[in-house]
Amino acid sequence: MQAFVLQEFLSQPRCVQRCAEMNASISCAWSATVFEELAVDGAGPAHSAACGSSYRRCSAWLGLYRWPVIWPDATALDGGGTASRRWYCASVDGFTPVPQHWRAGEPDGTDRNDGHVGHCAAVGADGLLTDASCASRHQCACERRGGGQAASYSERMATIMHRGVGFLAAEEDSAPAPHLGSLGLRARLSTAYAAEVEMRARVCYIMLGVGWFLFVAGWGPLPLVRLEPAGVMLGGVFGRNMVLEGSAAALGPLLLALSLRPTDAANVRAASWLMMLFTLSLATIFMQVAAGSYWAYANGSPAPPFLVRSAPRRSPLVAALGGVSLLQALAQLLAAAALFSSPLRVPRRALTRLWHTLRCLYATQSVLTLLQLGMALQLDPSFKHSLFFAHRVVWCVNAIAGAVVLTARRRRRIQASIARALLPEDRRGLAAVGALMGGKTSAAAFAAAAASFRSLSFRQIRPGDLASSADSGLHALTRPAKLGEVDAFVSHSWLDDGEAKFEALAAWAESFESEHGRPACACINQEHIEASLAGLPAYLSGCRFLLVLAGPSYLRRLWCVVEVFVFSLMTRGSAERIVVLPFGDHSRHTPATRPRRTRALTGAGSRDGGVGGADAIPSVRTLAGFSLSAASCAIKNDEHRLLGVIEAAFGDHASFESPFRALLCSRVFGPSAQCRASRADGSGSSRSERRAGAATDGSVDGRGRVARVCRLLRRVLSPAPAERRRGEGGGVEAMMCRQASGSRNSLV
C-alpha cells in the first residue's frame, strides 16, 4: 500500500474525486505516511510550531464516515455528549454514503442541529481525529493498494469517543488488526497518557488536597494554643475540637505522603526537601526549649519556658525536661540528614526513604512527647487543663497508630482501594503505560521511540549473543526501522541458558521463514535504561507478536513480566498475539499439575511442540505461584523503576498479579484454563517470599517489635547504596522485524 498526501486544501467530496483521478482512493486511518507528509499550506512538512492554533492547516481528510451503533439509548447517538460512534471506510468496505446513515438532510455539509459539526473525519499531525463539516477544507490523504489486498470491515472499524464539541479522539482502534499503525499507536499512547493524567488527578491530587487541609488545620493553631494560659479555652473553638485538631496534625503528613506515587520524581523530591526543612525548623524549636529549660534550672527560675507556668526551684525534672527536648531535636536532625541523603534519582527509593523517616520520626517523637508531657504534669498538675496538652496527647496516639499500621503493604492496599473506587481496571492498566513514558507526552514518546527503533537480520545472531547482556557487537550491525515494520518482540531472561534460548528462537525463525519466504530480523540493545523504559510501549505496540522465550527463570525477571503486561495493554488484550516458546527444565514442580500435551506454542507463526519436551512446559503451580516479590532485576534501580510503575497504577501487587497470571495461563494451557493463586489472599506467594519482598519494597515486617525498630533505624541512618554495575540477569528488549524488501506488503 502506498499512502500520500495531496498538499492542496479541498472539501471532503472533492478529495474523494481528486484521489480517484490519481488512480487511488481516499485513505483510512492506518496510513503510516500520512502524518509524515502533512504540509502547512502546501509549503512543506508540518511542524508543531508552524501549525499554531489552526488545526485545519495541518490536517487531511480521511475516508471515514460515521456509522450509528445501537447503544442502550439509541437516541443518545444523535445527542452529542459522550455517545459512542463507529466509523467505516468507504474506500475499503465498498459502502457509498447515503443519507440514512445520518440525520435527515445529511450529508450536505451543514452543521448538525445540536451544534456539533458535520460527519466527515480529518486527521492532524498529532494523530487525533476531528469530526468536521464535509464542506470545510483540508488536505487530502490518498492511498494505492497493490496485490488486490484490502482490509476487512472488522479490521478497519474504529470506535470513536466524543471529546467535546466537534472534537474526536480514537479511544479504541480496529480489532483485530495485525498491528497498530501510526494513527493507532499514537492514539493508544495518547489514551495511556490521558489515563495517567486521570489517575493523577482523581487519586493523587484529591489526597494531596485533603492532606494539606489536615496539615494546616492541625499545625496552624498550634502556636496559638501554646500561648494559651492554663485552664483558659481559646475562644472555645479549639477546646471543643482539640481531638480533631490533634488527629489532623498527625494524619495530615501521612495523607500527604500517601498522595505521592513512586513515579512522581518531582513531587517526591519536593516532599523530601519540604519535610527536611520542616524537621530542621522543629529541631530549632526543640533546641530553644532545651536551652531555656537548662537556663531555668541553672538560675533557679520558678517558671521554665514552654509547657508549664510554674515549677519548684532547681527541680531535677526541669533539667530532665530540657534533656528530652534535646533528644527531640536530635531526632529531627537525624531525620533531616536521612532525607538529605535520600536517593532522589530513583523516585521509588526516595519515597521509601521518606516513609521510613516519617514512621521512625513519628514513633520516636511520640514516645519522647509522652515522656515530656508526663514530666510537665509532675511539675505543674494544672497543665492537664491546657489545650496544648490535649493536642499533643491526641497527636501522639494518632502518630503511634500511623507508624505501626502504615507498613508498605498496607499503604499499597489503601492506594489500590482508592484507585479501584475511582478508576476502572482498564484505565488503571493504561495508567501504568502512561507512567512508563516518564512524564513525556504521547507525541514525544512516539517521536523518541520512532527515532531509536532499529533492526538486525536473524542470520547475524549467534548462540553466544543470547548468553550475556553485554553488547557483543550486534548493535553496530543494526539498521533503522519504522514502527509497524515489526513482526515480533522477543522477551527473554538473561539468566536462562543461551544455547537453549537460541534453539527455541531458531525453531521459531525457521517456521517463520518457511511461511513467509524470508528470514527474520532482531534488534538487541541494553543501554539507556530510562529511554528504553519510556519507549517500551511504542516498541511493543509497533510489533505484530510478542515472542516469549519462557525459560525456567522467566517469571523471576521483572523486565520480562513488564514486557508481557505492557504488550497486552497496548494491544487491548489480544492474547492470541502472544507466542509462548517454553524451553528448559520446569520439572521441579509437581508433575501432576503439568499438562499432558506438550503443545504450548500459540499464535500465528508458531509451531507445535517445544524445546525440551513435556518438562519444558511451565506447570499450573508455577504460574499460579507467580508473585512480584519473587521477581527482580540485576540492577536495583531498574527494579525500583519497574515496581514504581506497577505500584503507581495498581497500588498493591495483587491487583497486578491476578490478571497477569490469567493472561499467561490462557496462553500456555488454553483460553479456558485457570491458574488460581496459591493463597486465599491472591498474593500467590509464601510467607518467606513476602518477607523477602518486604526488604525490597520498604516493609518492616520482622519478628518482634525491637527488630522492626532496629531495621527502621538501620534503613534511615544507612547511606544510600551505590548503584551496582549492569550485569547479567536483566530483562532484554529484542524485536523481530521483517525487512523492508520483504514480499508482504505493509498493513499500516
For the chain, which residues make up each domain, given as ranges? 2-177, 220-406, 442-459+475-688+730-737
Report which DSSP code applies to 424. Answer: -
- Closest to 583 measured CA to CA, from 618, 538, 608: 618
Grid cell listed for 450: 520512532
- Nearest 5°: the CA angle 688, 691, 693 is 110
Cα 541 to chain centroid, rounded: 16
**What is the reported pLDDT for 201?**
83
According to CATH, the topology of domain 2-177 is Mannose-Binding Protein A; Chain A (3.10.100)
From the number of C-beta atoms within 10 Å of its C-beta (0-12, 13-18, 19+), residue 300 rates as: exposed
pTM given for the model: 0.61
Q: What number of other Cβ atoms are within 10 A of residue 691's Cβ?
A: 15
What is the reported pLDDT for 300?
65
The per-residue DSSP string of 280-338 comes to HHHHHHHHHHHHHHHHHHHHT-SS-SSS-S---TT-HHHHHHHHHHHHHHHHHHHHHHH
The closest alpha carbon to 279, from 224, 357, 216, 355, belongs to 357
What is the spatial distance between Cα 67 and Cα 88, in angstroms, rounded to a whole number?
Answer: 7
Alpha-carbon gap, residue 279 to 286, rounded angstroms: 10
Which cell numbers in the block locate residue 210? 485533603
Residue 170's pLDDT is what? 26
Listed in sequence order, the DSSP H helices in 61-172 are 90-93, 153-156
In angstroms, rounded to a whole number, what is the distance separating the alpha carbons of residues 46 and 403? 56
Q: How far is CA 484 from CA 341, 366, 461, 584, in A?
A: 44, 59, 22, 32
The burial of 722, by beta-carbon neighbours within 10 Å (0-12 exposed, 13-18 middle, 19 or more buried), is given as: exposed
Write out the three cell numbers for 175.
480489532
Taking the C-alpha atoms of residue 85 and residue 77, their distance in angstroms, rounded to an integer, is: 7
- How far apart are the C-alpha atoms of 343 and 446, rounded to whole Å? 29
**Residues linked to residue 65 through DSSP beta bridges, in sequence order:** 88, 120
Residues with Cβ < 8 Å from 103, sequence gap 6 or more? 78, 112, 113
β-strand partners of 547: 490, 579
Q: Assess contact for 577 and 548: CB atoms under 8 A.
A: no
Question: Phi/psi at 508 (nearest 5 deg)?
Answer: -65, -40
The residues, ordered by sequence, that sit 6+ positions from 115 with a Cβ below 8 Å of its Cβ are: 80, 165
- The torsion region of residue 42 among left (phi > 0), alpha (psi -120 to 50) and beta comes to left
Whole-number Å distance between alpha carbons of 272 and 452: 34
Distance of CA 310 to the CA centre of its chain: 58
CA terminus-to-terminus distance, the chain: 8
Q: Mark the ranges of the chain whose per-residue pLDDT is less than 70.
A: 1-3, 7, 28-58, 64-119, 124-132, 145-184, 221-242, 300-314, 343-344, 457, 468-475, 486, 518-532, 572-575, 585-624, 668-748
Residues 385-407: tens digit of each pLDDT: 777 777 788 888 888 988 888 88
Closest CA to 726 of 666, 637, 658, 629: 637
Q: 663 Cβ partners below 8 Å, 6+ apart?
A: 564, 565, 568, 575, 578
CB atoms under 10 Å from CB of 348, counted, come to 26
SS3 assignment, position 167: strand
Q: Where are the beta strands (DSSP E) in 327-410?
A: none
Q: Cα angle vertex 68, ends 62, 69, to 5°?
A: 120
Task: Tell which residue, 148, 149, 160, 146, has the closest CA to residue 62.
Answer: 160
Residue with cell 550486534: 474
Taking CA atoms, 669 is separated from 587, 597, 598, 745, in Å, by: 16, 9, 10, 33
What's the order of all strands across the beta sheet hosting 578-582?
521-524, 734-737, 486-491, 543-550, 578-582
With a CB cutoff of 8 Å and minimum separation 6, the contacts of 582 are 504, 550, 551, 600, 610, 611, 612, 616, 617, 618, 668
Give the residue carrying C-alpha cell 553466544: 464
At 221, is the secondary structure helix, strand, or coil?
Answer: coil
Query: Across the strands, what pairs with 457?
Result: 521
For 29, other C-beta atoms within 10 Å of its C-beta total 26
For 259, counting Cβ atoms within 10 Å of its Cβ (0-12 exposed, 13-18 middle, 19+ buried), the class is buried
Measured between alpha carbons, how far is 513 from 605 in angstroms, rounded to an integer? 9
DSSP character for 110?
P
Cβ contact 649:432 at 8 Å:
yes
CA 529 to chain CA centroid, Å, is 16
